[in-house]
Amino acid sequence: EFVEMFVGVGASRVRDLFKKAKENAPCIVFVDEIDAVGRQRGTGIGGGNDEREQTLNQLLTEMDGFEGNTGIIVIAATNRADILDSALLRPGRFDRQVSVDVPDVRGRTEILKVHGGNKKFDADVSLDVIAMRTPGFSGADLANLLNEAAILAGRRGKTAISSKEIDDSIDRIVAGMEGTVMTDGKSKSLVAYHEVGHAICGTLTPGHDPVQKVTLVPRGQARGLTWFIPNDDPTLISRQQLFARIVGGLGGRAAEEVIFGEPEVTTGAAGDLQQITGLAKQMVVTFGMSEIGPWSLMEGGAQSGDVIMRMMARNSMSEKLAEDIDSAVKRLSDEAYEIALMHIRNNREAIDKIVELLIEKETLNGDEFRAILSEFVEIPVENRVPPATPAALPA
């Protein structure tokens, strides 16, 4: 509320705020979205009078100027700590930074307990299992998940939330609204082979996350989906796991090519190709996981979402290095595609059986999928799911 179009209003509001704080000392002043006034100074073109800068100058003076503001603690929040003025972050002002990241599995369990306190759940619903199924969800996402599940339970005339509503809500939040299932035989068969291709290649490549379910129910832009569930919070990911994800991502295209022939390959793999190309590029330029060597090939800001910084980084490298990067990315993708094609060719019988069942049931869960697949081929040890359900986490 400091920023105003009239000159001087923001600064006078800061003075009033601290005057009020002194009268109520000891007290806490909390400033939300501090980057609205605390942005780096001197970035405007051509100088002139910037109202934001005046407000920031006043804030800096009030926080740690000549006059001592004892008994007042100032706390601020921002999503963009990288663009704050350095004077704001020096000792005496905002000298402690507390990074609030997305919660880990234990944090998610505790957050779910808070948001689930006023909701009724069936006996089969375990908050620990929901927490394990939702890596990367923030507190707001988890609140949204339980609200969505409660709405679905009400719509279905139930008196308590069951695991079916939880599953549907996770699917809806991650992938979008449910569409109507295709009736056309050829398209449905093609989507089924595509999705089973992902599931087979993922399951048979060591280091890949286990399949949670394969479905032909369209969501968002996707005609069908294969869901994988991480075994643990993916904070540190090995080269083997990243490569396995690329193989799994190419499994859909490989299945289309092997089963229907190259002329029948469809546009369905466009999203997969985008994802795996991005992943392969990260392996080469950010994580140093290619033959180019263990060093980061991007300059400072180039790994951020800043397009201009990325363009400058590309321009600052030699043509030879840019070529090496492109060929290393292509080599990774080609190698993964060969493995995906091999998995599809070697397991044609299993794929046909799974596809037949999938077209009939429209959704297969991970256990059903693995049970059929293990009749034909041995699943790598590291990709097997332990038979017991996840135990309750220690409080």
Residues with catalytic function? 195
Nearest CA among 215, 213, 152 for reference residue 182: 215
Residue 26 preceded by cis peptide, ω within 30: yes
Nearest CA among 185, 260, 180 for reference residue 217: 180
d(CA 385, CA 232): 12
CA angle 168-354-169, nearest 5°?
A: 5
| 3-state helix/strand/coil string of the chain | CCCCCCCCHHHHHHHHHHHHHHHCCCEEEEECCCHHHHECCCCCCCCCCCHHHHHHHHHHHHHHCCCCCCCEEEEECCCCHHHECHHHHCCCCCCCCCCCCCCCHHHHHHHHHHHHCCCCECCCCCHHHHHHHCCCCCHHHHHHHHHHHHHHHHHCCCCCECHHHHHHHHHHHHHCCECCCCCCHHHHHHHHHHHHHHHHHHHHCCCCCCEEEEECCCECCECCEEEECCCCCCCCCCHHHHHHHHHHHHHHHHHHHHHHCHHHCCHHHHHHHHHHHHHHHHHHHCCCCCCCCCCCCCCHHHHCCCHHHHHHHHHHCCHHHHHHHHHHHHHHHHHHHHHHHHHHHHCHHHHHHHHHHHHHHCEEEHHHHHHHHHHHCCCCHHHCCCCCCCCCCCC
- 364 pairs with which residues across the strands? 214
Pairing state between β 27-31 and 72-76: parallel
Q: Computed from CA positions of residues 14, 18, 23, 24, in that sequence, does the dihedral angle turn out positive or negative? A: positive
